[in-house]
Amino acid sequence: MRCSVDRILIVGLGLIGGSLAKALRERRYCRTVIGYDRNAEELEAGLALGVIDEAASDLVSAVSRADIVVLAVPVKATDAVLAEIRPALKPETLLTDVGSTKGNVVEAARAVFGELPPTFVPGHPIAGSEKSGVAAADAQLFERHKVILTLTETSSAKATLAIARMWQATGAEVLQMELARHDEVLAATSHLPHLLAFSLVDTLAAEAENTDIFRYAAGGFRDFTRIAASDPTMWHDICLANRDAILGQIDRFTAGVARLREAVAASDSQTMLGIFTRAKASRDHFTRILSSSAYSQKQHTGPVDFVLQPGGALAGQLRLPGDMSISHRAIMLGSLAEDVTEIEGFLESEDSLATLQAFRDMGVVIEGPHQGAVKIYGVGLGGLQPPPGPLYLGDSGTSMRLLAGVLAAQPFDTELTGGTGLSRRSMLSIVEPLQNMGARIETGPDGRPPLRIRGGQQLRGVEHDVSTASAQVKSALLLAGLYADGETRVREPVMTRDHTERMLRGFGWPVETTEGVTAIRAGGRLVGARIAVPGDISAAATFMVAAAIAPGSEILLEHVGINPTRRGVIDVLRLMGADIELHNETLVGAEPVADIQVRYRPLQGVEVPAGLLAAALDECPLLMVAAACAGGESRLSGLEARGARVLERIATTVGALQALGIEVELQHGQVRVRGGRIGGGALDCAGDARVALALSVAALRAEREIKIGGCGAVVASFPEFVALARRAGIRIRKEEG
């Protein structure tokens, strides 16, 4: 590796200073790593152990020769060291430190220098060990750990970049943070836990029978108290340096322990469960956000491709995961209801788990999910609490749109954020009608997230005409209408899925629906209920189309929701001649369900009426694949008024089918597909789960292998797909990057 810097001086060869020196030396980041320490034995050991290239006996002389000076001394010694080295610092010499408190370091520098030099860039590596001294130096100590730079008002961009690159050379991730915020955050995440560990061990050590306490301590005790073996002098200095922030965190922690003590003393199970479940969920939640991992443990967060071999037939019976739309709404209404709501069949997908976590963040006690079972201790319409920070919703547009309706009426401010995909979508379709109701909402550029919702607004009922049919817009306005003065009326050009209306009635809130208008009035209450979530018909549609196009197929799909606003795929396939039978039709709660049996029978091209297609918009890519396998020509009409996202999905499917050799075109809101031979090759689903599922089904009639890139959205929304597809007879494998 070509050396980037000539000389770096590390002042203080303790664990952090020694590890930094060793890491830079082993990676040959500079020509010479110079070490200085007031303890001559530590200095000699650093040289003997290969931690440094050169041992400096005179600090001032070493500083005068260095390009970068790193202060790795106790925080209380910072002012004295700065005063000593100031005369030798050249104007171009970069200066940084490793202290875990920054306010006192910057104040010490200000006292010594007067005006802070532009070459001064304070830093703090978030890494450590109970060991100390140069003998504990570890060249890998900073790998995959964070280093925080707390720039001063004078820190130059050039100096900042140079210090960042030095730390990056050790394998660290470099971040920037405002100085005061750094000390506040570290007081909570580092300083307080160390003090608790010291205090707990000290308290238990004073017990008369302390030998047995420590002898029989399990792993949890050892893990928690491990940091009590840290250097006492260092932590004494940190407490003095960051006193105010640490005291604030101790007070908050003490209040929390007092609440828990009261709950234990009163045998208050709900409060105890609330504290424990919120703590567990919050730890899991923030761990996933910070590591860019998933809510669902079934999800792989890297690139995912599907590879499918041609041919095959479906057989057997499948029980599909719970309906996503119903899962979202069950969490929302259960949280806003009074008393307990129990859910069975909850879909544990990224999107629905994002909704669940959002309500946990707002103080709702939620047990589970465990094998689809969720128990919600509702807080009532006025019981939500301000979340501790922005509500992160992954890539779930449903979560963001519906939550906007609820949060527009709350007394506290909230911010809704999301992942990369969600942050590209416009939210104006829901923001503007909510603003007409009196909500105060700010968006990012072009109406995209984040959404900043101002609390304390009194909403008023309005009559809103939805120009582009959207169940999410309708649902958000109905949820806002729970809090609004007067009546809220939503008029749709065509009827969209009505899960929200059905579930509101199931929770005891009257909803009127007449001639395309849905109306709701405030003033009621939601009462906890038992919700059985049926199988998702969109997931079932994948296997329905697969069996309908693959010769020799016969499959039974159990307990599938057949809501009239969602069953369009069944009606269109029957129109094309598919052999589909419904068995065991019944109502579960407010939702109709049935077992769906599909046998292969040759399909014929048809013209699908716009009204029929309205109940199958999400399944359009699948229906286009069915049309590609049918005799003659099929036409899907009335798509021009279905919104940009639907048209983008259709256009992606058109391009993929054309790449497979199918004659297909999209013009003036109409898709024309002529049945033909399906080839093979590499395809791109543009990150759209529904397109990926449709192309996976097409492989059953393909002549060659099909590889579909960008299928991570399927893993997020339908984690069980690959396993279910293989069980049914689709020759698929998942490749993960």
pLDDT over 50 (residue 201): yes
Q: Which of 100, 106, 103, 150 is nearest to 126 (CA)?
A: 100
509 SS3 class: coil
Q: Which amino acid is at 348?
A: E
Question: CB count, 10 Å around CB of 499?
Answer: 23
What was the pLDDT predicted at 365? Answer: 82
d(CA 346, CA 331): 9
Model pLDDT, residue 4: 61
Q: DSSP readout, 515-542?
A: TTEEEEESS---B--EEEPPBPHHHHHH
CA distance 595 to 581: 8
Least confident interval from 141-145, 212-216, 454-458, 667-671? 212-216
Token pair in block for residue 212: 């047995």
Phi and psi (nearest 5°) for 513? -135, 115
In sequence order, the 6+-apart residues with CB closer than 8 A to the CB of 625 are: 545, 549, 657, 694, 695, 697, 698
Q: What are phi and psi of 594, to 5 degrees?
A: -160, 160
Domain boundaries along the sequence of the chain:
5-177, 185-267, 304-319+534-736, 325-532
- Whether 124 shows a pLDDT value over 50: the answer reads yes
Return the SS3 of 145: coil
Summarize the confidence of residues 399-404 as an average pLDDT: 98
What single DSSP character describes residue 188? I
Determine the average pLDDT of the residues in 547-573: 95
What φ, ψ does residue 559 adopt, rounded to 5°? Answer: 55, 55
3-state SS record for 585-621:
EEEECCEEEEEEEEECCCCECCEECHHHHHHHHHHHH
User: Which element (helix H / strand E) includes 364?
Assistant: none
Q: Return the axis-axis angle of helices 428-436 and 471-481, rounded to nearest 10°.
A: 30
Which range among 2-16, 137-151, 635-649 has the greatest average pLDDT?
Answer: 137-151
Alpha-carbon Rg for the chain, nearest whole angstrom, is: 31
Mean pLDDT for the chain overall = 90
The long-range contacts involving 720-726, CB below 8 angstroms and separated by at least 24 positions, are 720/298, 720/321, 721/539, 721/542, 721/693, 722/306, 724/318, 724/320, 724/543, 725/542, 725/543, 725/696
pLDDT band at 130 (very low <50, low <70, confident <90, very high): low
State the DSSP string of 49-77.
TTS-SEE-S-HHHHHHH-SEEEE-S-GGG
For residue 390, pLDDT beyond 50: yes
Q: Would you say residue 111 has pLDDT above 50?
A: yes
> To the nearest whole percent, how much of the chain has pLDDT over 70?
93
Give CA 510 to chain center in angstroms: 34
Residue 288 has pLDDT above 60, yes or no: no
Residue 685 has pLDDT above 70, yes or no: yes
d(CA 358, CA 385): 11
d(CA 506, CA 533): 13
Q: What is the mean pLDDT of residues 433-447?
A: 96
Verify whether residue 395 is a known catalytic residue. no
Q: What is the pTM of this model?
A: 0.65
Task: Flag whether pLDDT at 161 surpasses 70.
Answer: yes
Q: Are 377 and 414 in contact (CB under 8 A)?
A: no
β strands within 171-215, DSSP E? 173-176
Task: Return the pLDDT at 586.
Answer: 93
Residue 301 has pLDDT above 60, yes or no: no
> Cα(404)–Cα(425) distance, rounded to whole angstroms?
15
Mean pLDDT of 461-475: 90
Q: Among the listed ranges 221-230, 261-270, 364-373, which one has the minimum average pLDDT value?
A: 221-230
Superfamily of domain 325-532: Enolpyruvate transferase domain (3.65.10.10)
For helices 537-549 and 620-628, what crossing angle results, to 10°?
0
Q: How far apart, in Å, are the Cα atoms of 285 and each of 224, 295, 353? A: 20, 7, 10
Mean pLDDT score, 173-196: 87
pLDDT of residue 217: 58
Q: How many CA atoms does the CB half-sphere of 66 hold within 13 Å?
A: 29
User: Which whole number is the average pLDDT over 215-242?
Assistant: 74
Architecture of domain 5-177: 3-Layer(aba) Sandwich (3.40)
pLDDT over threshold 80, residue 43: yes
Q: How confident is the model at residue 242 (pLDDT cuts 50, 70, 90)?
A: confident
378/364 Cα distance (integer angstroms): 7
CATH hierarchy code of domain 304-319+534-736: 3.65.10.10
Q: How far apart are CA 407 and CA 454, in angstroms?
A: 9
Question: How far is the CA of 656 from the CAs of 205, 210, 309, 630, in angstroms?
Answer: 69, 70, 17, 17
Query: What whole-number percentage of the chain has pLDDT above 90?
Result: 69
Can you give the pLDDT at residue 187? Answer: 86
Distance CA 627, CA 302 (A): 33
Mean pLDDT of 64-70: 97
Q: Which among 414, 336, 412, 299 is positioned nearest to 736, based on CA atoms?
A: 299
Q: What is the pLDDT of residue 213?
A: 63
pLDDT score of 219:
60
Q: Mean per-residue pLDDT for 31-58?
A: 95
Report how far residue 659's alpha carbon sits from residue 656's, in angstroms, rounded to the nearest whole number: 5
Q: Identify the active-site residue in 395, 618, 684, 688.
A: 618
pLDDT of residue 208: 54
**Cβ-based neighbour number of residue 208 at 10 Å:** 7
Q: Is residue 115 a contact partner of residue 76, using CB atoms and an 8 Å limit?
A: no
Taking only the tens place, the pLDDT of each residue in 627-674 is: 999 999 999 987 766 667 788 899 999 999 999 999 999 988 889 999
pLDDT for residue 25 is more than 90: yes
Residues 316-333 have a mean pLDDT of: 95
Q: What is the pLDDT of residues 448-465, one digit of tens each?
A: 999 999 999 999 999 999
* pLDDT value, residue 294: 43
pLDDT at 214: 63
Model confidence at 59, in pLDDT bands (50, 70, 90)? Answer: very high
Topology of domain 185-267 in CATH is 6-phosphogluconate dehydrogenase C-terminal fold (1.10.3660)
Q: Specify the range with the lowest mean pLDDT, choosing from 63-77, 251-265, 269-283.
A: 269-283
Going by pLDDT thresholds of 50, 70 and 90, the confidence category of residue 210 is low
Q: Tell me what the mean pLDDT of segment 715-720 comes to.
A: 86
pLDDT for 292 equals 42
Please check whether residue 408 is in contact with residue 431, taking contact to mean a CB–CB distance below 8 angstroms: no
Q: Is the fold of 5-177 the same as that of 185-267? A: no
Tokens of 169: 């050379």
CA atoms within 13 A on the CB side of 347: 32
> Sorting pLDDT into bands at 50, 70 and 90, what band is 298?
very low
